[in-house]
A and B are shown apart, each in its own frame.
Chain A
Amino acid sequence: MNPPTAFQRFLLAGVCAISVLVAPAWSAPSQIIAQLDRLGLPLGESAQLAVTVKDSQPVEPNVPPVDGLEITPVGQQSSMQVINGAVFAEVRYVYQVTPNRSGSFTIPAIAVPGGGSTQPIAFHVDKIPTGQNSRSPRPGGSPLPAPSGTPAEEEAAWADAKGQSAFLRVVLPKQEITVGELIPVEIKACFPAGVAASLNGLPMLTGGAFALNKLDDNPEQTREVIDGQPYNVITWSSALSAVEAGDYPLNLELPVMVRVREKSKRGGGRNSFKDFFGDASPFDDSVVDDFFDQVTEKPLALHSDGALLRIQPLPVQGRPPDFSGAVGKFDVSTEASVIRAVTGDPITLKMKITGQGNFDRVATNGLASSAGWKSYKPNARFEPADREGFAGTKTFEQAIVPTRAGPSEIPALSFSYFDPDTRSYVTKTTSPIPIEIVPGSAIASALVPSTTPAMARATDGLVPDHPETGRVSSLSPVVLAPWFLMTNALMAAATAIGLLVRRWRQLRANDTERVRAAAASAAVREAVSEMDESIKNRNSVGFFHAARRAVAERLAERWSVPASRVTLAEIQARLNGSGENICALFKRGDEVAYSHEEVTASELTQWRANISQQLAHL
Chain B
Amino acid sequence: MNLPSLRHCVAARRREKRTTKIEVKPVLLVALVAGVLMLCSAFAAEEAAPSQESAPALFNRGNALVREGKPGPAILAYERAQELAPRDPAIAVNLQAVRDTAGLAAPTPAWWQSAACALTMNEWAWSGSLALAFVCGAISLGRLLPTRLRQPVKALSAVCTVTVLISASALWLRWPELSRAVVLNSHVTALIAPAESAGPVFPLAEGEIVTAKKELRNFVLVCTADGRSGWVARAQIERVIPAPVPNRAG
Contact = CB atoms under 8 A, between A and B. Distances in A.
B135 A495 contact: yes
Contacts of B89: 453, 455
11 contacts: A346-B63, A455-B89, A455-B93, A465-B63, A472-B57, A475-B242, A476-B242, A483-B45, A492-B132, A495-B135, A495-B136
Given A455-B90, A477-B120, 8 more contacts: A346-B63, A453-B89, A457-B93, A479-B125, A481-B49, A488-B132, A491-B133, A523-B1
A563 B67 contact: no
A462 B49 contact: no
A487 interface: yes
B118 to A, nearest CB: 15
Interface stretch (B4-12, B21-29, B229-237): B4-12
A552 to B, nearest CB: 11
Given A475-B53, A498-B140, A509-B14, A465 B126 contact: no
Interface of B: 1-3, 6-7, 9-11, 14, 38, 41-42, 45-46, 49-57, 59-60, 63-64, 66-67, 80, 83-85, 89-90, 92-94, 97-98, 101, 120-122, 124-126, 128-129, 132-133, 135-136, 139-140, 171, 178, 240-243, 245-246
Contacts of B246: 480
B51 A474 contact: yes
A473 B1 contact: no
Interface in A455-472: 455, 457, 460-466, 468-472
A494 interface: yes
B132 A474 contact: no
A480 B56 contact: no
Contacts of B6: 515-516, 519
Contact of A468 (B56, B84, B121): B56
Interface string A260-300: 00000000000000000000000000000000000000000
A462 B63 contact: yes
A171 interface: no
Interface in A488-526: 488, 491-492, 494-495, 498-499, 509, 512, 515-516, 518-519, 523
Contacts, number: 144
Contacts of A399: 64
A346 B121 CA distance: 33
Q: Which 6 A-B pairs have the closest CB atoms?
A: A466-B56, A474-B49, A476-B243, A495-B136, A463-B90, A470-B56
B45 A481 contact: yes
A492 B242 contact: no
A499 B136 CA distance: 10
B3 A512 contact: yes
Contact of A495 (B3, B55, B139): B139
Contacts of A495: 135-136, 139-140
A465 B59 CA distance: 7
Nearest to A456: B90
A441 to B, nearest CB: 14
Given A474-B51, A476-B242, A479-B171, A516 B136 contact: no
Contact of A479 (B14, B42, B101, B121): B121
Contact of A509 (B2, B10, B38, B67): B10
A480 B41 contact: no
B125 A463 contact: no
Nearest to B10: A515
A435 to B, nearest CB: 18
A480 B101 CA distance: 34
A123 interface: no
A484 interface: yes
B54 A472 contact: yes
Interface string A288-314: 000000000000000000000000000
Contacts of A481: 45, 49
Given A455-B89, A472-B52, A474-B46, A515 B7 contact: yes
Contacts of A562: 1-2
Given A509-B10, A518-B10, A469 B46 contact: no
Given A465-B63, A519-B6, A478 B122 contact: yes
B102 to A, nearest CB: 13
Question: Most chain-B CB neighbours within 10 Å: which of A346, A475, A484, A494?
Answer: A475
B136 A473 contact: no
Given A509-B10, A519-B1, A519-B9, A465 B52 contact: no
B34 to A, nearest CB: 9
B66 A473 contact: no
B243 A480 contact: yes
